[in-house]
Amino acid sequence: MFNTNALNNSSEEYRVAVFFHEVLHAYLAALFVADPSVLPNLPDHDTIAYNYVTVLSLNLHYMYGLDIDEANALAWEGLRETAFWDLRPESIKNNITAINQDHRLGIRGHKCK
Ligand SMILES: [Zn+2]
């Protein structure tokens, strides 16, 4: 879950990334209830990091014309405690963190009306 105060000045793209992330939590919960055998025994964030970051990145890329690295950074938001995050090289993690901070502060991206 996200702290919604963090969204106050954030870009539209950032808010959409957060929305997708939350929808994935709901989707995974529903999927698991429907068929408990579907998912590996991982926390949601690990499942999202492993299976959905690319899809989420591509959606943000096509929706907003963000370059793929910027879209990928937004897709990683909220997933820093995962093992898959830990596998990223330090320079990439720093870049992702900086991009997300800029979007959270509204320095990058479209301003919400
Ligand atoms: Zn989450």
Burial letters for 75-92: b for 16+ Cβ neighbours within 10 Å, e otherwise? bbbbbeebebbeebeeee
pLDDT confidence tier of residue 17, bands split at 50, 70 and 90: very high
Ligand 1 centroid to Cα of residue 112, in Å, is 22
Beta carbons within 8 Å of 84's beta carbon, 6+ residues apart: 46, 49, 50, 53
pLDDT at 40: 59
| pLDDT on residue 36 | 72
- Residues with Cβ within 8 Å of residue 52, at least 6 apart in sequence: 24, 75
Q: Is residue 47 part of a domain?
A: yes
Residue 113 counted as domain residue: no
Per-residue pLDDT band at 20 (split at 50, 70, 90): very high
Give domain status of residue 37, yes or no: yes
Q: What is the pLDDT of residues 26-55, one digit of tens each?
A: 998 888 777 777 665 678 999 999 999 999
What separation in Å is there between the alpha carbon of 54 and the centre of ligand 1? 16
What is the pLDDT of the chain when averaged over all its residues? 90
Q: Which residue range forms the structural domain that includes residue 29?
A: 8-104
Tally of structural domains, the chain: 1
Query: Distance, CA 34 to ligand 1 centroid (Å)?
Result: 20
Give 10's pLDDT tier (boundaries 50, 70, 90). Answer: very high
Query: Is 1 a domain residue?
Result: no
Task: Assess if residue 2 is contained within a domain.
Answer: no
Phi first, then psi: give them for residue 111, nearest 5 degrees. Answer: -75, 140
85 CA to centre of ligand 1 in angstroms? 14
| Residue 76 forms part of a structural domain | yes
3-state secondary structure at position 41: coil
